[in-house]
Amino acid sequence: MSNQSLFERAQRVIPGGVNSPVRAFRAVGGTPRFITRGDGAYIYDAEGQRYIDYIGSWGPMILGHGHPAVLEAVISAAREGFSYGAPTEREIELAEEIIKLVPSIEQVRLVSSGTEATMSAIRLARGATGRSKFIKFEGCYHGHTDALLVKAGSGLATFGHPTSAGVPEEVAQHTLVLEYNNLQQLEEAFQLHGKELACVIIEPIAGNMNFVRAALPFVKRLRELCTEYGALLVFDEVMTGFRVGLHSAQGHYATLLPGFKPDVSVFGKVIGGGMPLAAFGASREIMKHLAPLGGVYQAGTLSGNPVATACGLATLREIQKPGFFEALATKTQFLVNGLKQVATENGVPFSVDSQGGMFGFFLMDELPQNYQTVMTTDKERFNKFFHGMLDAGVYLAPALYEAGFVSAAHSQADLEATLAAARTALR
């Protein structure tokens, strides 16, 4: 059994051979690795090759694979039952834990995926405000629901165009797409459409154009404009939630902007610990619009699944231990600083950024601030670097536009081995 034979077999029964497009390696070329197991900081493919894992299931595996406390919680929950379609105490416990760590939230609704959570958050914002239109930013990914698969229109007076077949123009007509970190566009958009906007949704640190953080003046003005015009500010923290810090990205911005908080928050990945689980939350005043209390309908058979909540709860309890995030951030900084140094030694343009256990790098001299700049990165050089690292047993995201993740399980030896591999690959 080889990766190639599995990929050929998969393509006969699964479109493109994968169940999520980026896994197909089309951006970088070559054959996807079919993973058989994970252990700590490592994953192993069908051919027995071990890789130092910097994807971590795209973020959830903040403790590494197979953490003993998480494993024990999942096995115990599975013995009790996989799903009931009825409330459980563990759902309450997980909601209480999230609310305790995120001051902007008073109530939370559990769902099964980040896409489901962002879709529901926008529906909630529309129901709470009685408005239809909303703003998103180019390069921010909020799942594959129709209204969010939209690219920028031809100008601020026009709304977005679908980026996926199967999305009708009339669905996209309520979505206004702006450039990330562009204050002038933001001001003009609110002047033109402010009283019609239900919400603005943003990734505070965008992880799907690699790693681009929202500038402080931009976040500050965004909060002011939403308040002024009565639009809700939705923070999509599916990726950043409990990954960039114990209080998520909004906690980071609150330390820089005292009193800052979004109106609605969306979480996923880490809160499920690797199982299908996500959530959206807000104040009681906003959440009262949600069924069964209000007229905004949302439901799900597997929402609050007892095995997933056990996994997520055990993960959240582990990351609250003293010194956890300090140690994680130290590891991540060691990695990105080392990559920058290795690139400099080899005369390769390179810029890096990180927060907590999330990082990104660009093959350019300065960190980009928006999607259009990210698109100018040297794609061919990145692809060569990716395959050089993969051949050396280091598993990075198989696409130029994805962030990376360090886990608590990564050792100093793992980080140094990664830098040694980069030294060779960048030559």
Whether 422 maps to a domain, the answer reads no
- Determine phi and psi for 262, rounding to 5 degrees: -80, 170
The answer to whether 236 is a known catalytic residue is yes
Q: What is the pLDDT of residues 34-44, one digit of tens each?
A: 999 999 999 99
- Determine phi and psi for 199, rounding to 5 degrees: -165, 170
Could you list the residue range(s) of the whole structural domain that residue 217 is in? 69-319
Options 42, 141, 253, 395, the catalytic residue: 141
The answer to whether 39 is a known catalytic residue is no
The answer to whether 321 is a known catalytic residue is no
**Is 158 a residue whose pLDDT tops 60?**
no
Q: What is the pLDDT of residues 168-198, one digit of tens each?
A: 888 888 999 999 999 999 999 999 999 999 9
Provide the 3-class DSSP secondary structure of residue 244.
Answer: coil
Residue 313 contacts residue 90 (beta carbons within 8 Å)? yes
Residue 270 contacts residue 233 (beta carbons within 8 Å)? no
pLDDT at 242 (0 to 100): 98
Options 45, 51, 54, 236, the catalytic residue: 236
Q: Is the pTM of this model over 0.75?
A: yes
Q: What is the pLDDT of residues 100-124, one digit of tens each?
A: 999 999 999 999 999 999 999 999 9
Whether 218 maps to a domain, the answer reads yes
CATH number at residue 169: 3.40.640.10
pLDDT-derived band at 343 (thresholds 50, 70, 90) equals: very high
pLDDT at 154 (0 to 100): 53
Whether 373 maps to a domain, the answer reads no
Whether 419 maps to a domain, the answer reads no
pLDDT at 400 (0 to 100): 87
Number of domains in the chain: 1
Q: Which residues make beta-bridge pairs with 395?
A: 53
Whether 368 maps to a domain, the answer reads no
Options 42, 269, 353, 401, the catalytic residue: 269
**Which residue did the predictor score with more confidence, 274 or 155?**
274
pLDDT at 163 (0 to 100): 83
pLDDT-derived band at 156 (thresholds 50, 70, 90) equals: low
Whether 97 maps to a domain, the answer reads yes
Whether 57 maps to a domain, the answer reads no
Whether 215 maps to a domain, the answer reads yes
- What is the C-alpha separation between 136 and 177, in angstroms, rounded? 5
Strands 358-362 and 404-405: antiparallel
